[in-house]
Amino acid sequence: MIWSRDYTVEELNGRPKGHIGDLIGIEFTEITEDSISARMPVNEKTHQPYGILHGGASVVLSESLGSVASNMIIDSNKYIGVGLEVNANHLRPVKSGFVTGICKPIHIGGKTHVWDIRLYDDTGKMNCVSRLTVAIIPKT
């Protein structure tokens, strides 16, 4: 297990409210030995003007997953993990339902973490692949 302790999905979903992930409906769904998953509705809050999932919403889901994952690994009394670089390739449009993101580590270092995040629609087709680099910085 890569996590600093046992976490629960309920604990991740109980984080403070009012942030962007909460506002667009991101919900954590699974924690495994080396991955976390979350889903996000595809609706008027996450659409772009043409009625399909906004690429920025996909990036918010990706960055939320990777940032939370990094913060589940580090000593939260001493450090915080913050997004340093994110990229995303949007592979196919999604009009409705949910997209589910699965986040797995590529690199876990002392100062940076790199995450692979893949988003899937309700039919299991990948609609986005993303990579997030997280900087591990001292708490001030």
- Enumerate the active-site residues: 63
CA–CA gap between residue 5 and residue 77 (Å, rounded): 13
Q: How far apart are CA 25 and CA 56, in angstroms?
A: 14
Q: In angstroms, rounded to a whole number, what is the distance separating the alpha carbons of residues 102 and 134? A: 16
Torsion of CA 14, 20, 22, 24, to 10 degrees: -160
